[in-house]
Amino acid sequence: MAKIKTKNFGNIEIADTQKITFPEGILGFETEKEYYLIIKEDSPFLWLQSSKTEGLAFILVNPYLFIQDYKLEINHRDWDSIKIDPKKDDFLVFAIVTIPENPEEMTANLQGPIVINPNEKIGIQAISLNDEYSIRHPILDSLKTVLSQGDK
């Protein structure tokens, strides 16, 4: 277990297996290469918390909640950099959530997905080659549906 400082949950203990390395960082934050993936069982959101900067954390969400046939098309180099063969290997895909002043206008970035190799614990922010997806895809309505299904 590791003790880390988080932006949203204060000081927490987290399993070392949740540590994900981003060799190229995340666009705009290239010098931050190490994050912890925090999973909250009762929430559709996950957190990608920088291991060294308490104030740096991204909120992530599963893009398939919003676009069921979301097609992840990314460059070969991106697949190689996280040691994934998309035809064979398992990988995780997330979208970064932005919550503006009015939280009802929250959006997810479907154009710059976070792709993680869960076995090697390596991640990347890829740029989708399929540019029909929005950087600011509104998500509140879909979340309402998801959460109400969860209540049943």
Partner 1 sequence: MLVLSRKINQSLMIAENIEIVIVDIQKDQIKLGISAPKEIPIVRKELYDAIKKSNISAVNKKGLPDLATIIQKNTTKK
Interface positions with partner 1 (CB under 8 A): 7-8, 26-29, 43-45, 55-59, 75-78, 80, 96-100, 103-104, 109, 111-112, 125, 127, 131, 135-136, 140, 143-144, 147
Q: How far is the CB of 2 from partner 1 (least distance, A)?
A: 21
Query: Which CB, 1 or 98, lies closer to partner 1?
Result: 98
Q: How far apart are CA 111 and CA 50, in angstroms?
A: 22
Q: How far is the CB of 27 from partner 1 (least distance, A)?
A: 4
Q: How far apart are CA 4 and CA 146, in angstroms?
A: 31
Query: Which CB, 21 or 134, lies closer to partner 1?
Result: 134
Query: Which CB, 69 or 104, lies closer to partner 1?
Result: 104
Cα–Cα distances in Å, from 124 out to 44, 45, 90? Answer: 21, 18, 15
Is-contact 28 7, C-beta < 8 A?
no
Query: Which CB, 1 or 144, lies closer to partner 1?
Result: 144
Residue burial 110-121, b: 16+ Cβ < 10 Å; e: rest:
bbebbbbbeeee
